[in-house]
């Protein structure tokens, strides 16, 4: 056939399709399933909808400007994993393909004319969902997961693609970002603003304007003449800096990155085999071919302190625009007939000598962040844990980076959709997820900003971010009453920083989502199968963000009625028996958050300017008793930043309460960490038979403790037991 026979054109773009038309597809049936979930990233419900009356779900990483809500169309991430669940069992399918993929869903429980006719003709089951995956190229490479419960299949997928490693502790605290903080004085002003207004913060972010005219691994010498000094000022307060590094490279003579990539052949090639040129923030740009291990190694070395002067172990990285984004490309991305490095093999010549971009598009960002991760490790001799944020995502992204939901808008709908979007990503192994608090585009009025901070404080990645053309919105720029509410929401996050850290440690071990849909913990409760406006953190806290304006009450589903589960308001310690939906009053200062009866949650009430400064502060241990009067929880402690925990320099402890005693014991007795933190008080909620005395036993020392009863004599407070968290202890109650 003549060259170009299969080519297609759309407007000004032409796809040469040198291999001709190709596709690979497979149908899956999920019997006994009520719903299917997953295949992020979309602005849709967590439980996927039947697509017979519209477009299928599309998986194709794209830079989508002002993306729409309630859409099945492509966004920044594409993770081709789908789960099903019904009362009998759960299942999952991982369609391992990084080409453009479309997914159709047919749920036979949907009351549509089409599904009713199909059921009538086929005699099909009511509880059944079918799905069809079709990709533009590739092979059939499928993994199937089976289990009794959702946790079984979530865990299998996480172990297949790799659970997320333990992140540095600061990354679970509050981040302040804007496109852009314009110079060192601006950074200093924002940093000081948090201190002046008594709002904790751990990270200041710099967007693209910090560079020398969009040349990455450089600084604007006029605006940022002393970056090392700027970083040192932040670190003196326990804070960090994050700088953005995008994968496009400015095509400018004399720019070291461009000169090296050109001379060494490190760029992605166009269909003719020449360096591909596109358009992005710097103007004319080319893109490093991270599929080539030599290129990735070179790129990783750019992160060394010598090659990126002004940085230190306290400067972390944001890889944006890595779908990849090409402003003048088809659909704002790279043409599909561009060429990537392919490992040489015997007989590989002609078209077989390279990967077309169409084959690997959805993996480009993954290889970008992998190279960044390698560089961040190498720059400090593999001692310190890196933090990386990525916009593009594929299966396995969780091993290297956190993900956010992209360039959202300051509208209530975008606040609401952040919950199902993060639930979907979490099910696909990517638990470290959040949205731009306040919305990237437009300006959030006070009520929306308040509700977004309250929601963000209970989502894994907590970062405020905004567009360069929007009005500044640091928390203290609102009216004092609103600033107070934003301060309170942020301080709530810091009070629970060790709770979050423990969740992510456990996530690194078992791969289970940190932010969980209710049906994961209550798989037999059919009412939970489509709930995506509330969620669980681990199996301990239930959160229902307020995502509607002007409301005075909201409905909250309290699961676990069959096991007589109790849910305690985290502020009042009032216990509510699980009984499905209940209506709760809300004020502008409060969203519904409950602690499950039978759980132990540790808080740090002395909130300081950064999480690092709270490391040795005391704990308040909140024991929420179940219907049997028992409770258990866990705590993880290490230095928060190094890999020393891999050498048994950590504490992972279990806390257990039952009538007569409370114990704090180490899971791994060979591990230890010299923490100076201690127990300031213990709050036991739901106590029915208060003890008369309490005694702390730690080592060979015994100490009598003081106790007081509160709130109708069902909340017992043990005051200042002063037990060290560096060694096991036990409290014995007498009646």
pLDDT at 279: 99
Give me 215's structure tokens.
Answer: 């040349």
Task: Tell me the β-bridge partners of 102.
Answer: 58, 134
SS3 assignment for 142-157: EEEEEECCHHHHHHHH
User: Mean pLDDT, to the nearest integer, of 530-549?
Assistant: 99
Asked whether the beta carbons of 332 and 13 are under 8 A apart, the reply is no
DSSP state of 56: P
Give me 87's structure tokens.
Answer: 């009362």
User: Mean pLDDT, to the nearest integer, of 366-393?
Assistant: 99
| Domains of the chain, start order | 18-161 (2.60.40.1760), 169-246+297-325+364-510 (3.20.20.80), 599-734 (2.60.40.1180)
Start-to-end Cα distance in the chain:
91
**What φ, ψ does residue 509 adopt, rounded to 5°?**
-90, -50
H/E run at residue 619: strand 619-624
Give the number of C-alpha atoms closer than 13 A to the C-alpha of residue 347, restricted to the C-beta side: 0
Give the number of C-alpha atoms closer than 13 A to the C-alpha of residue 210, restricted to the C-beta side: 31
pLDDT for 4 beyond 70: no
Asked whether the beta carbons of 600 and 633 are under 8 A apart, the reply is yes
Q: Are strands 679-685 and 535-537 parallel, antiparallel or unpaired?
A: unpaired
Give me 214's structure tokens.
Answer: 């969009």
Asked whether the beta carbons of 80 and 133 are under 8 A apart, the reply is yes
Alpha-carbon distance of 516 to 501, in angstroms, equals 16
Alpha-carbon distance of 487 to 476, in angstroms, equals 9
Q: Which residue has the higher pLDDT, 432 or 344?
A: 432
pLDDT for 86 beyond 90: yes
pLDDT at 420: 99
pLDDT at 119: 56
Could you tell me which of 138, 142, 141 has the C-alpha nearest to residue 23?
138
pLDDT at 178: 99
Give me 228's structure tokens.
Answer: 């090392």
Alpha-carbon distance of 427 to 447, in angstroms, equals 30
Give me 13's structure tokens.
Answer: 């773009």
pLDDT at 266: 99
Alpha-carbon distance of 101 to 95, in angstroms, equals 10
Q: Are strands 679-685 and 619-624 parallel, antiparallel or unpaired?
A: parallel
pLDDT for 381 beyond 60: yes
User: Mean pLDDT, to the nearest integer, of 506-531?
Assistant: 98
**pLDDT tens for residues 615-666?**
999 999 999 999 999 999 999 999 999 999 999 999 999 999 999 999 999 9
Asked whether the beta carbons of 389 and 245 are under 8 A apart, the reply is no
Contacts of 419 (CB under 8 A, 6+ apart): 455, 532, 533, 534, 535, 545, 547
User: Mean pLDDT, to the nearest integer, of 562-584?
Assistant: 98
Asked whether the beta carbons of 285 and 252 are under 8 A apart, the reply is no
Whole-number Cα distances in Å, 654 to 3, 223, 486, 571, 669: 67, 50, 33, 24, 12
Q: Which residue has the higher pLDDT, 53 or 718?
A: 718
Percentage of residues of the chain with pLDDT beyond 90: 93
**pLDDT tens for residues 416-426?**
999 999 999 99
pLDDT at 120: 54
pLDDT band, residue 272 (cuts 50/70/90): very high
User: Mean pLDDT, to the nearest integer, of 4-26?
Assistant: 89
User: Mean pLDDT, to the nearest integer, of 176-205?
Assistant: 99
Asked whether the beta carbons of 131 and 101 are under 8 A apart, the reply is no
pLDDT at 110: 74
Whole-number Cα distances in Å, 196 to 193, 200, 201, 609, 733: 5, 10, 12, 10, 44
pLDDT for 194 beyond 90: yes
Lowest mean pLDDT among 97-111, 431-445, 668-682: 97-111
**What φ, ψ does residue 637 adopt, rounded to 5°?**
-135, 135
pLDDT at 244: 99
Contacts of 398 (CB under 8 A, 6+ apart): 158, 161, 162, 163, 164, 429, 430, 431, 432
pLDDT at 118: 56
pLDDT at 352: 81
pLDDT at 712: 84
Alpha-carbon distance of 559 to 545, in angstroms, equals 17
pLDDT at 270: 98
DSSP 383-446: -B---EEES-B-TTGGGT-EEE--S-BSSHHHHHHHHHHHHHHHHTT---EE-EET-SBS---H
Could you tell me the sign of the dihedral formed by the alpha carbons of 372, 376, 381, 382, in that order?
negative
Alpha-carbon distance of 32 to 107, in angstroms, equals 11
Q: Report, as residue numbers or ranges, the catalytic residues.
A: 320, 407
Lowest mean pLDDT among 2-6, 277-281, 449-453: 2-6
User: Mean pLDDT, to the nearest integer, of 10-21?
Assistant: 90
Task: Tell me the β-bridge partners of 130.
Answer: 29, 106
Could you tell me which of 501, 638, 609, 643 has the C-alpha nearest to residue 204?
609
Asked whether the beta carbons of 338 and 355 are under 8 A apart, the reply is no
């Amino acid at each position: 056939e003549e060259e170009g026979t299969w080519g297609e054109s759309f407007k000004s773009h032409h796809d040469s399709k040198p291999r001709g038309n190709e596709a690979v597809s497979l149908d899956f049936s999920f019997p006994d399933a009520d719903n299917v979930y997953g295949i992020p990233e979309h602005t849709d419900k967590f439980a996927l909808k039947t697509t017979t009356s519209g477009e299928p779900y599309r998986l194709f990483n794209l830079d989508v400007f002002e993306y729409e809500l309630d859409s099945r169309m492509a966004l920044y991430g594409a993770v081709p994993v789908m789960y099903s669940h019904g009362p009998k069992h759960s299942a999952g399918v991982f369609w391992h393909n990084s080409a453009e993929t479309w997914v159709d869903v047919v749920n036979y429980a949907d009351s549509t004319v089409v599904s009713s006719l199909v059921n009538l003709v086929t005699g099909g089951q009511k509880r059944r969902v079918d799905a069809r995956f079709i990709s533009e190229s590739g092979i059939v490479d499928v993994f199937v997961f089976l289990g009794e419960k959702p946790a079984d299949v979530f865990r299998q997928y996480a172990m297949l693609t790799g659970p997320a490693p333990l992140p540095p502790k600061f990354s679970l605290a509050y981040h302040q970002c804007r496109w852009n903080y314009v110079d060192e004085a601006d950074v200093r002003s924002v940093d000081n603003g948090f201190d002046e207004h008594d709002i904790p913060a751990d990270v200041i972010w710099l967007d693209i304007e910090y560079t020398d005219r969009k040349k990455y691994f450089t600084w604007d010498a006029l605006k940022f003449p002393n970056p090392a000094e700027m970083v040192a000022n932040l670190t003196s307060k326990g804070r960090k800096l994050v700088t953005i590094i995008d994968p496009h490279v400015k095509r400018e003579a004399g720019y070291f990155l461009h000169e090296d990539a050109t001379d060494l052949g490190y760029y992605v090639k166009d269909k003719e085999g020449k360096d591909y040129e596109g358009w992005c923030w710097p103007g004319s740009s080319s893109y490093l071919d991270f599929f080539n291990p030599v290129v990735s190694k070179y790129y990783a070395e750019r992160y060394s302190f010598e090659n990126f002067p002004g940085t230190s172990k306290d400067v972390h990285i944001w890889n944006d625009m890595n779908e990849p984004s090409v402003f003048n490309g088809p659909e704002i991305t790279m043409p599909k007939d561009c060429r990537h490095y392919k490992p040489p093999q015997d007989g590989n010549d002609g078209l077989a000598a390279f990967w077309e971009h169409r084959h690997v598009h959805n993996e480009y960002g993954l290889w970008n962040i992998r190279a960044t991760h390698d560089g961040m490790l190498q720059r400090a001799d593999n001692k310190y844990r890196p933090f990386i944020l990525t916009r593009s995502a594929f299966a396995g992204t969780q091993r290297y980076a956190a993900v956010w939901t992209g360039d959202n808008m300051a509208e209530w709908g975008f606040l609401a959709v952040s919950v199902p979007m993060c639930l979907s990503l979490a099910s696909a192994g990517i638990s470290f997820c959040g949205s731009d608090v306040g919305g990237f585009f437009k300006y959030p009025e006070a009520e929306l900003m308040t509700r977004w901070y309250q929601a963000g404080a209970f989502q894994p990645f907590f970062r405020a971010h905004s567009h360069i053309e929007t009005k500044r919105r640091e928390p203290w720029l609102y009216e004092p009453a609103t600033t107070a509410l934003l301060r309170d929401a942020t301080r709530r996050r810091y009070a629970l920083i060790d709770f979050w850290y423990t969740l992510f440690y456990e996530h690194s071990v078992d791969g289970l989502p940190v932010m969980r849909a209710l049906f994961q913990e209550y798989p037999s409760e059919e009412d939970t199968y489509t709930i995506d406006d509330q969620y669980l953190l681990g199996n301990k806290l239930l959160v229902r963000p307020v995502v509607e304006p002007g409301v005075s009450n909201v409905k909250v589903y309290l699961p676990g009625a069959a096991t007589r589960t109790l849910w305690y308001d985290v502020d009042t310690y009032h216990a509510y028996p699980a009984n499905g939906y209940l209506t709760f009053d809300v004020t502008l200062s409060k969203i519904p958050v409950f602690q499950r009866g039978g759980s132990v949650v540790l808080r740090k009430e002395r909130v300081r300017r950064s999480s690092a400064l709270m490391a040795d502060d005391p704990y308040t241990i909140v024991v929420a008793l179940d219907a049997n009067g028992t409770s258990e929880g866990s705590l993880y402690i290490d230095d928060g930043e190094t890999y020393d925990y891999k050498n048994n320099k950590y504490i992972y402890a279990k806390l257990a309460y039952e009538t007569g005693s409370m114990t704090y014991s180490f899971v791994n007795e060979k591990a230890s960490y010299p923490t100076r933190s201690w127990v300031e008080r213990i709050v036991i909620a739901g106590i029915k038979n208060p003890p008369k005395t309490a005694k702390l036993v730690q080592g060979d020392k015994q100490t009598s403790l003081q106790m007081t009863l509160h709130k109708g004599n069902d909340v017992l407070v043990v005051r200042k037991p002063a037990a060290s968290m560096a060694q096991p202890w036990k409290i014995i109650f007498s009646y």
